[in-house]
């Protein structure tokens, strides 16, 4: 989808929403009631809440004409079936992480996050101005879907571990609950990846059926109480430098929408995308302090472990790109964009942040 067309149509939508009188809107805008299934439980108010924020913006911009009812994971279909439900037409749309469906095709993972991929700012830049959204939607169309960025967690933590990790050898045989594409990569260094629903992670750690588990970050993890059963909290979550969520719409339903409604949906997605990460950035610091008071042991992954995982990721990408042309096309675009993005950020964000963090450690802030 051409970015300039998006901006233009979004501007038309905004003008329609703000300048037309209510009776005029009523004449040109049909009344619609759609259902959106989320991949997340209501208890995770920030990530689940992005869908509700999106729905609210659409309702208000259409003067109450386009109502999208949001359902939590399990209310209509299980969370990991959200995209399938939207593609089949059993619901009109879903709010999900595309990498949940990488087992069908690894190309799905590129829409959310892949190991040692992009951070959240780079993801937004690539999606909106680097061709990423167009490329992903070429792929989504083959699945009967169209998708728009609608939330981001930012860089995630590396997870909760029952025992301390000092070397790559400590990772071998480790039963690790890890979502998405990261499990395929980390298995190359001997980790046993587990797919466990969020509501079952605590019990798995408590009983020892899992040795470690990753979820999101301090705000959500503190609420779920993982610190009570696994004392070591590792960082960074190198498999999710910025986990981007999507609103995915059944492609046939999308094509039936009036152009004004399409523009409003895209604009509302972009607004919810910014809103979600802002909430996490505002709430994670306080949760981090609570975890420290509760006795959490924060640990960076050893350099040896990061380097081994980086090599495992490159080997995995080489294998997939050799056999999946669709994945290769999008991956090559992302990699080229990443190279230029880090070229710039080492002059800007990195240097500024490094100085300010140094001042914080000296208690200068």
Question: What domains, with CATH codes, occur in the chain?
Answer: 3-153+241-281 (3.40.190.170)
The pLDDT, as a whole number, for residue 169 is: 97
Among the residue ranges 41-45, 89-93, 164-168, 205-209, the one predicted with the least confidence is 41-45
Rounded distance between C-alpha atoms, residue 342 and residue 339, angstroms: 6
Q: How many CA atoms lie within 13 A of 45 on its CB side?
A: 4
Please determine, for residue 100, whether its predicted confidence score (pLDDT) is greater than 60: yes
Dihedral pair phi/psi, residue 351, rounded to 5°: -65, -40
Over residues 322-345, the mean pLDDT reads 97
- Cβ atoms of 93 and 36 closer than 8 Å: yes
Q: What are the tokens at 155?
A: 């860089």
What confidence tens digit (pLDDT) does each residue in 35-74 have?
999 999 998 999 999 999 999 999 999 999 999 999 999 9
pLDDT-based confidence at 15, cuts 50/70/90? very low
The stretch 288-303 carries a mean pLDDT of: 98
Whole-angstrom distance, CA of residue 351 vs CA of residue 365 = 17
- Which bin fits 144, alpha (ψ -120 to 50), beta or left (φ > 0)? left
The mean predicted confidence, pLDDT, of the chain is 92
Mean per-residue pLDDT, 261-266: 98
Q: Please give the distance of CA 24 from its chain centroid, rounded to a whole number.
A: 38
pLDDT for 10 equals: 46
Write down the pLDDT at residue 179: 75
Strands of the sheet with 297-300, listed across from one edge? 192-194, 175-177, 212-213, 159-161, 232-235, 297-300
Structure tokens at 90: 């059993």
Q: What is the mean pLDDT of residues 195-210?
A: 90
CB 156 within 8 A of CB 236: yes
Percent of the chain residues topping a pLDDT of 70: 92
Judge residue 22's burial from the number of C-beta atoms within 10 Å of its C-beta, 0-12 exposed, 13-18 middle, 19 or more buried: exposed
What's the helix, strand, coil split of the chain in %, to 5?
Answer: 55, 15, 30
pLDDT at 226 over 50: yes
Task: For residues 152 and 281, give the distance between their C-alpha atoms in angstroms, rounded to a whole number.
Answer: 10
Per-residue pLDDT band for 197 (boundaries 50, 70, 90) equals confident
How high is the pLDDT of residue 198? 76
| pLDDT in the model for residue 92 | 98
Whether pLDDT at 351 is above 90: yes
* Angstrom distance (rounded) from CA 202 to CA 275: 28
Given this model, what pLDDT does residue 7 score? 43
From residue 298, give the alpha-carbon distance in Å to each of 140, 160, 205, 246, 309. Answer: 39, 9, 17, 31, 20
Instruction: Band the pLDDT of 196: cuts 50, 70, 90.
Output: confident
Find the Cα–Cα–Cα–Cα dihedral 259, 264, 265, 271, rounded to 10°.
150
Q: What is the model's pLDDT at position 14? A: 45
């Amino acid at each position: 989808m051409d970015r300039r067309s998006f901006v233009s149509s979004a501007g038309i939508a905004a003008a329609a929403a703000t300048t037309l009188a209510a009776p005029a809107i009523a004449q040109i805008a049909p009344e619609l009631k759609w259902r959106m299934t989320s991949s997340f439980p209501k208890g995770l108010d920030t990530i689940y809440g992005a869908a509700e924020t999106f729905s609210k913006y659409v309702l208000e911009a259409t003067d109450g004409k386009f109502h999208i009812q949001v359902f939590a994971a399990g209310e209509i279909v299980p969370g990991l079936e959200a995209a399938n439900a939207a593609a089949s037409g059993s619901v009109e749309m879903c709010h999900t992480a595309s990498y949940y469906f990488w087992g069908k095709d690894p190309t799905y993972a590129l829409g959310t996050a892949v190991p040692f991929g992009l951070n959240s700012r780079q993801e937004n830049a690539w999606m909106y101005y680097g061709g990423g959204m167009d490329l992903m939607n070429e792929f989504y169309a083959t699945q009967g879907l169209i998708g728009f960025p609608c939330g981001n967690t930012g860089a995630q933590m590396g997870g909760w571990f029952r025992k301390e990790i000092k070397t790559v050898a400590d990772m071998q045989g480790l039963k690790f609950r890890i979502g998405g594409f990261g499990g395929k990569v980390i298995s190359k260094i001997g980790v046993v990846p587990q797919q466990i629903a969020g509501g079952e992670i605590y019990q798995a750690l408590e009983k020892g059926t899992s040795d470690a588990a990753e979820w999101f970050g301090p705000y959500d993890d503190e609420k779920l109480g993982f610190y009570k059963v696994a004392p070591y909290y590792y960082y960074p979550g190198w498999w999710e430098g910025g986990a981007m969520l999507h609103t995915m719409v059944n492609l046939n339903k999308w094509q039936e929408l009036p152009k004004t409604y399409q523009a409003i949906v895209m604009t509302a997605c972009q607004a919810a995308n910014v809103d979600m990460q802002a909430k996490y950035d505002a709430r994670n610091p306080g949760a981090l302090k609570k975890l420290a008071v509760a006795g959490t042991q924060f640990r960076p992954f050893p350099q040896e472990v990061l380097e081994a995982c980086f090599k495992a990721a490159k080997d995995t990408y080489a294998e997939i790109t050799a056999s999946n042309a669709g994945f290769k096309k999008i991956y090559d675009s992302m990699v080229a964009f990443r190279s230029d993005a880090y070229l710039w950020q080492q002059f800007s964000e990195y240097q500024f942040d490094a100085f300010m963090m140094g001042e914080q450690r000296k208690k200068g802030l």
